[in-house]
Structure formats: structure tokens, C-alpha cells
Amino acid sequence: MTKTCILIGAPVDSGQRRPGCLMGPAAYRVAGLADTLEALGHKVRDTGDVAHRPITGARCANAAVHHLEETLGWTHTLSAAAEAAMAEGFPIFMGGDHSLSLGSVSGVAAHAKSAGRPLFVLWLDAHSDFHTLETTTSGNLHGTPVAYIAGRDGFAPFPPFPAPVPAQNICLFGIRSVDPAEHAGLLSHEIAINDMRVLDERGVVAPLRDFLDRVRAADGFLHVSLDVDFLDPAIAPAVGTTVPGGTTFREAHLVMELLHESGLVSSLDLVELNPFLDERGRTAKLMVDLVGSLMGRKVFDRPTRSFG
């Protein structure tokens, strides 16, 4: 099915302390994201990079939290951009660190609420990102979006999430690094947790299809948030939060192919790409190739060479 893909640059660098993610949108453009989508028959509209204005005067009790005013500004701006883009097509948020999802998923959720349909979230990440502003010890707000999406307390002065996503509508996929405070929080929620142990035992197909079946049965919107560290750092080094033991090239492409075949994905985050850490654009190109698989390209969809 042909989609109108709306590319939204989100040069967010405030959710963590290692600079470089703000160069992510430019790297996706240079790596040919628009050309890849157009070659697959989709319409593409690049809206450029979103500009934001920090919200001054914001405070929280946790002194470790940094760049709060800037992240709040990004959240408001990206939420508005996401809600508008959902009404026009298929938004792809080119990040930027994962704190951008505080805004992107907020806007998507507002659109789903107005449409009277449930929202589901597939979180492809090494981390659970289930901290609140009160529990984070690093102060890095890229570790908080899932908790915000799920409606956890502890997010003042952020605006209330427009329609908290029920825990059973959230699927963490590929995680392998969870802090103790996040672990404690997850135990009190019914979020589907498919860590790498689960994927090692069951493979990627069965748990993903289980989740997609629930999305289909509920006629839900599906937001996919793809973090570079979902991938093993051996194939995707351009991320500041590398965790060994991530998905392989073929596992990642298989996930994307299954998502395409489901026809359920309605919006997409591409996050945590730090081009400063890349090797000649290797990670950016892989991420673009994964989007290609999500949007209909088969990696091995080519004639088999005959040696007869």
C-alpha cells in the first residue's frame, strides 16, 4: 500500500549527555531515506527540522535531571507536529535522542484518541526507558518515555500524557539493560517484555506476531520506536549507549518485514543515531535499509543465481 511519508527532523540532543544526536536528521537525509521510500513507490514530504523553544521556569525535585526546560520545549513542539502529521499521512521522526518520543508518541496518542481507536507501541530498544523524573539517577530524560507513555506518576512539570497507553498495549522488544528502579516499576505493570533471553529462546517471530495479533484484533494504531541500540553494536556502532548482544542484521530485517506484512504500523521513530560515532555512515545506512524493509522491500527479494 502506497503511503504518504512525512519526514520530520527532530535534532534533539537534550535527553542525554553525549553530543552528536542532533546530527541524526541530516545523516538520514544523506543516507538516502527519502530516495529509498520513493523507490518503493511511496510519496515523500520532508518538512525539515522542527524548531523548538525551551519552556523557561520549569523545575523538578530531582537535582540530577538536566536540560529539563529544553526537553519540555521539544516535547510540546513534537507533540503538535506529530498530531498534525498523523492526520496527513505516515510520520517518520528522524532523531535525535529517545527523549523525542516524549513528544512524538504524545501527539500520536492525541490523534488516536480523537479517532476513537486504541494506540499500541512497539519499543525496539536495548533499554526499557521506564524511569520517571523522580527515579532517574543519571538525569538523562531519554530513559523516561515509556513510563510517560504508560501514564506513570512522577512527570511534573510535563503535561499529562493525553491518553495513557494501557500497559498491555506496550511491547518492549530486544531489551537487555534495565536499572533496578525501572525493574521495580515494570513489575507493577503488565507490559509485554520480550528481552533478548525471550528472543533467544523463541526467536523474533512468535512474540512479535502475538503482539501484532492483539493490535489487529483491537483495530489499533501502531507506533514503532526504533532505537539504534536495538541492534548489536558490531553492526551499528553509532550510538552512545551500546549494549552487547543486540539483534543481528537478519533478525532486525525480519522484524521490519513482519511489520510491513502486518500492514499495521502507522508512525515511526528513528532515534539515538550519533553520526559522530559512525564508521563512514555505516549505521545510518543500515537504519535506512531497515526502514526500507518496513516499507516493503525484501532483503533477499531477487532472482536466485543459477550455477548449473
127 belongs to the catalytic site: yes
DSSP 8-state class, residue 127: B
* Alpha helix ranges (H) inside 40-67: none
Sign of the alpha-carbon dihedral angle for 68, 82, 91, 203: positive
272 belongs to the catalytic site: yes
Degrees to nearest 5, angle at CA 229 with 73 and 31: 80
97 belongs to the catalytic site: no
User: Which residue is catalytic, options 125, 182, 251, 289?
Assistant: 125
Beta carbons within 10 angstroms of residue 278's beta carbon: 22
227 belongs to the catalytic site: yes
213 belongs to the catalytic site: no
Please state whether 284 falls in left (phi above 0), alpha (psi between -120 and 50) or beta: alpha
Q: Which H helix or E strand runs over 82?
A: helix 68-86
User: Which residue is catalytic, options 83, 97, 182, 229?
Assistant: 229
User: Which residue is catalytic, options 13, 251, 272, 289?
Assistant: 272
User: Which residue is catalytic, options 52, 67, 76, 98?
Assistant: 98
DSSP 8-state class, residue 168: G
User: Which residue is catalytic, options 129, 182, 251, 257?
Assistant: 129
User: Which residue is catalytic, options 142, 223, 253, 260?
Assistant: 142
Which residue is associated with the grid cell 521513530? 269
- From residue 20, alpha-carbon distances to 3, 87, 121 in Å are 30, 31, 26
229 belongs to the catalytic site: yes
CA 41 to chain CA mean position, Å: 24
Cβ(58)–Cβ(48) under 8 Å? no
C-alpha cell at 146: 515509556
User: Which residue is catalytic, options 67, 76, 127, 253?
Assistant: 127
Beta-sheet strand order (sheet of 265-271): 43-49, 4-10, 90-95, 265-271, 221-227, 119-124, 170-175, 192-195
Residue 195: exposed, middle, or buried by beta-carbon count in 10 A (0-12, 13-18, 19+)?
middle
User: Which residue is catalytic, options 70, 182, 227, 289?
Assistant: 227
Give the pairing of strands 265-271 and 192-195: unpaired
- Distance (Å, whole) CA 81 – CA 160: 17
Give the active site residues: 98, 125, 127, 129, 142, 227, 229, 272
